[in-house]
Chains A and B, each alone.
Chain A
Amino acid sequence: MSDRFVAEHPPPDVAGSPDRGRSWGGSAIVGATIIGVIVFTALVSFVWTPHDPLLVQGAARLQGASSEFWFGTDRFGRDVFSRLMMGARTALFVGVVAVSLAGLVGTPLGILMGMAPRWLSQLFLRTNDLLLAFPALLLAIMFGAVYGASTFTAMIAIGIATIPVFARVARSGTLQVLSSEYVLAARSAGRSRPAIALRHVLPNIGGLVIVQASVSFAIAVLAEAALSFLGFGTQPPTPSWGRMLQEAQELVAVAPMQAVWPGLAIAAAVLGFNLLGDGLRDRFDPRLDDSR
């Protein structure tokens, strides 16, 4: 088995069988737990928060932590804990929309890139690399300037900027799957190319895409926070972790804890999704780690 038929493709070292690494690693469990807490918090915020997160109480400005205000209040007297809960909603919402957009557009695009004729595939790849080099924040700021800054423009911009990432991962996975003998078998069975893409490529790169999604989710949360911090994302009075951080920044000398809480929330979310991504990667395919 050493004839040169795979000259154009990476070696036939293909996506993992479901039996590899059956157990969930520790990092995936820790990551999933952190994210679980955040999701739970966000859901609870719909029906209950300790205080109205938007209620301005002049009498209760910049209070420290107490049994009444668990994480204290901000300079308008709004309850920080309640705002953090509602901020989780914003963060997850942005993540879900941005990553879904990127994944739903980027993955099929990547599969197409992988299955296209060689020259077209190369052209796609180079274009994609160009887009990949374009910073998401810059795109979002441009969007904000044109369409007005809002949570919506931020997440659309983040999503669009993330498309090339998914396209690239999907393309490299597709190339591996295409060089496998089971695709050869499917071709000899008479399967058409769309059927091969749907039946063989998609299920086998699914793991890769999910791993990428969890990593991209972390980046999206961070990007939203950064945009809000810069004023190009979520607009007041809606709470967002990045926004809260920005508001706390001016008062860092007076009330340092105001900056710590949203900072911790952002860090926890990013850590959680990255840990989950690592764990999923180990489970789905350890060998594809460095293939992109």
Chain B
Amino acid sequence: MADPMADRSRVPDADTGVDAGPVYEVAGLERSFPQPRTRLLAPSPRIAALAGVSFEVRAGQRFGIVGESGSGKSTLLRCLGGLEPATAGSIRFRGREIVGKRERRLGFLRRDVQLVFQDPMASLDPRMRVRHIVREPLVAQGTPGADARVAEMLEAVGLDPAAAGRFPHQFSGGQRQRIAIARALAVRPSVLLADEPVSALDVSVRAQILNLLADLVQRFELTLVFVSHDLSVVRHVCDTITVMRDGGIVESGPAEQLWERPRQPYTRQLVAAVPTLRRALSGAGPAELVRDAAATAGGDRSAAADEAHDPKDGR
């Protein structure tokens, strides 16, 4: 494996004393949403966002979830974060069930699991100063010494502690994402759930944030669950990749294996469709390259690929 961090052995977490078992055990997870009624007396139809998903995340893993729009990847992440109720199935976090628990009984999860979202403007309250944003999890969980921790976290994500007094809109996209990461790590969680954290960022800033995440994952010995539509980003960040489609898991495996030797046609299609600089420079002209990608993606569902999705997903 090219990435040395993937092989480092994980030190048992001193706070919880748990390391042996998996962090997350997900079994038969389902989540469906009611649709508007089409008939007066019949029950309203439901759309399945997750249709029976099972997997495990082990401590210290950098677990990537890849999928296109409508694949259910974000819904899955929210279920893992206890922010979205599952319809059926089970999610055990360090052995404790979270499906079916009320939000205020999820304190154990909140202390240990934090999230970073895609759009750092939308995920920071525009009317709060950075200090209060970063403190929020500390205050919510009654952790003492919040102010010192705010400065420490801002420093850890590469921001000037003086940033604490300002509002989110006074920062660039990359800086805002750093603030969001500082907030997530303030309570010293052992698990970080990241939902497309670099998709809204400029290319030059994306690399900075990916490096920062890698550093922080190592420094704070985090287990990372990273969701993205971009296979090349997930491959860079994660050691294990799960490919999702239409609410189910298509394929899982070590990152390099999945990228180099995908077993499922859909995964192959995803890999083939990603435009990369290397591919573009490998000699073929642009038209041929694009045709290649489309041809590999072709076969079973080329033109029909986006047709199959619910139109409402196409945002």
Contact = CB atoms under 8 A, between A and B. Distances in A.
Q: Do A and B bind each other?
A: yes
B214 interface: no
A80 B220 CA distance: 77
A4 interface: yes
B188 to A, nearest CB: 13
Contact of A185 (B113, B115, B170, B187): B115
Nearest to A189: B137
Contacts of A4: 33, 47, 49, 75, 312-313
B140 A191 contact: yes
Contacts of B312: 4
B63 to A, nearest CB: 18
Contacts of B313: 2-4
A17 B121 contact: yes
B117 A5 contact: no
Contacts of B49: 3-5
B315 A18 contact: no
Given A1-B74, A1-B118, A18 B127 contact: yes
Contact of A7 (B33, B104, B107, B180): B33
Interface in A1-40: 1-5, 7, 12, 14-19
B183 interface: yes
A200 B132 CA distance: 11
A187 interface: yes
Interface in B190-211: 195-196, 199
Contact of B70 (A3, A7, A184, A186): A3
A12 B70 contact: no
A72 B141 CA distance: 68
A2 B121 contact: no
A57 B141 CA distance: 72
Contacts of A18: 126-127, 167, 169
A184 B113 CA distance: 13
Contacts of A5: 49, 74-75, 78, 84
A5 B47 CA distance: 11
Contacts of A188: 81-83, 110, 113-115
Nearest to B104: A192
A219 B277 CA distance: 63
B4 interface: no
Nearest to A202: B127
Contacts of A12: 122
Kindly state the interface size class of chain B when it binds its partner. Answer: 35 or more
B168 interface: yes
B74 A190 contact: no
Interface string A138-155: 000000000000000000
Contacts of B33: 4, 7
A195 B125 contact: no
A187 B81 CA distance: 10
B104 A1 contact: no
A204 interface: yes
Interface string A164-186: 00000000000000001110111
Interface string B58-96: 000000000001111111001001111000000000000
B211 to A, nearest CB: 23
A203 interface: yes
Interface in A236-288: none
A184 B82 CA distance: 10
B104 A200 contact: no
Given A5-B78, A189-B136, A203 B169 contact: no
Interface string A195-229: 10001100110100000000000000000000000
B103 interface: yes
Which of A182, A188, A200 neighbours the largest number of chain B CB atoms within 10 Å of its CB?
A: A188
Given A1-B74, A18-B127, A180 B136 contact: no
Given A4-B33, A188-B113, A188-B115, A182 B122 contact: yes
Nearest to A185: B123
Interface string B119-141: 10111111110000000110011
B110 A189 contact: yes
Interface in A104-156: none
Contacts of B47: 4
A189 B109 CA distance: 10
Contacts of A3: 49, 69-75, 313
The 10 closest A-B pairs by CB, nearest first: A189-B137, A190-B110, A181-B123, A17-B126, A2-B69, A3-B74, A190-B140, A19-B169, A181-B122, A203-B127
Interface of A: 1-5, 7, 12, 14-19, 180-182, 184-192, 195, 199-200, 203-204, 206
18 contacts: A1-B195, A2-B314, A3-B72, A3-B313, A4-B47, A4-B312, A14-B122, A17-B168, A19-B170, A181-B122, A184-B115, A185-B124, A185-B183, A186-B125, A188-B113, A199-B136, A203-B125, A204-B125
Interface of B: 33-34, 47, 49, 69-75, 78, 81-84, 103-104, 107, 110-111, 113-115, 117-119, 121-128, 136-137, 140-141, 167-170, 180, 183, 187, 195-196, 199, 312-315
